[in-house]
Amino acid sequence: MKMKIYENAAAAKDILARGGFEDEKIAAGVKEIVAAVRDGGDRALFAYSEKFDGSVLDADTVAVSEEEIEAAYAALDPALLASMKKAAENVLSYHSRSPLKEDIRTENGRTTGYTVRPVERAGIYVPGGTAPLFSSVLMGVLPAKAAGVPHIYVATPAKAGKIAPAIIAAAHLCGAEKIFKTGGAQAIAAFAYGTESIPKVDVIAGPGNIYVTLAKKEVYGKVGIDMLAGPSEILIIADKEQNPVHVAADVLSQAEHDRRARALLLTDDREFAEKVQAETERQLALLPRAEIASFAVENAGGIILVKDMKEACALANEIAPEHLELAVKDPEALLPEIRNAGAVFMGGFTPEPVGDYFAGPDHTLPTGGTARFFEVLNQDIFLRKMSVIRYTEKAVREDAEDIVRLAEAEGLFAHANAVRLRAKGE
């Protein structure tokens, strides 16, 4: 299987076309699950956990026990645990930077500003899928911790009642209060509405499959959410100075995630494109997840030739990718041209997995073109600005005429009266 080379963006229109998050059949099923858990609580939650994951749960076993946490730590390679701790330190340190601060100011008897408060409870979803994504635990729990959320819970699918030890250890290490053995749309519904065993939260964050994404969409408004995230994707802008071995490896780093993953390369050099094409084919044959990566590259991947780097940046902004690698000699020169991306990786020695695991910035990113309006998961998702206003008697009298005029112009005479009475001293 060769990664196809397209002469231009027009020739690649089929792979650039994006499907949304809607799927009528799946959406109908998700609505049914959400409503069942909302109305039936634990009974419905446990029934779906058994149906979809083969986990027979009850109120005593739905949360990971202390004994299971101890067993998870014991099962981990000490070197892996040490690396996990280093990564956690980097992620927490990064998310603790430049926190939102209270800003309240008083001028001429008028106090205005805002306070900043974390939400009370956060629910972090961690995918089960085909790989134990313990890194998603770090990237979900630690921004909430940096925000000061007092109660942080993790939900993740348990296969036949078991969760990967690395996920349990990561959640405990990061400070999750409880880890729940449930996934899918039913877990999202449980966080949104609460059940007898799972608390209702204020914000749900974390990636998942289309069932999880549609469930988050369904419950949004009842709770806050971080974003609507779909399959993983990478877009690489590369010049001919790059090592094709490295660029091919980066293409496959996302293609192995999911059969629906997207992996694209933009370059202005055909010879370089052909080298990456050949190298991708060679490396693909060596991957344990070759079947998944091959399907993704063939069905949602490709190399698109562009006239120059300016065109590459313009196309990247249209695509608004989850991960954008600027694998060019001078990435700083291109960065000002980039408006829409979840995360930007600068230079030939900053492959996407650096951000996935260790650098500090979050890897829970907007996909499917939603980087045009969603942002990377960060501590702000778990914080709320709360307005503060205080007027003195003198100040309300000075501003009364304007306020009354504005209120009455909208036909809201009771609004106007609330100010007028104070201005008159009544």
- Contact (Cβ atoms closer than 8 angstroms) between residue 169 and residue 134: yes
Residue 119: both structure tokens together: 């939400």
β-bridge mates for residue 383, sequence order: 118
Catalytic residue, from 323, 325, 352, 363: name it: 323
- Judging by DSSP bridges, how do beta strands 301-305 and 5-6 pair with one another? parallel
Q: How far is CA 400 from CA 83, 106, 390, 417, 424, in A?
A: 62, 18, 14, 10, 9
| CA 213 to chain CA mean position, Å | 11
Question: Is 323 a catalytic site residue?
Answer: yes
DSSP conformation letters of 234-283 = EEEEE-TTS-HHHHHHHHHHHHTT-TT-EEEEEES-HHHHHHHHHHHHHH
DSSP conformation letters of 177-225 = SEEES--HHHHHHHHHH--SSS---SEEE----HHHHHHHHHHBTTBEE
Catalytic residue, from 256, 322, 325, 352: name it: 322
- Contact (Cβ atoms closer than 8 angstroms) between residue 369 and residue 380: no
- Torsional sign, CA 169, 165, 208, 124: negative
Q: How many CB atoms lie within 10 A of CB 36?
A: 18
Question: Is 246 a catalytic site residue?
Answer: no
- Judging by DSSP bridges, how do beta strands 121-125 and 151-155 pair with one another? parallel
Cβ within 8 Å of residue 74, ≥6 positions away: none
β-bridge mates for residue 203, sequence order: 122, 224
Cα–Cα distance for residue pair 426/420, rounded to 1 Å: 9
What angle do the packed helices 78-95 and 135-147 form, to 10 degrees?
40
β-bridge mates for residue 302, sequence order: 264
- Residue 340: phi and psi, rounded to 5, are -125, 105
Which of the residues are catalytic? 322-323
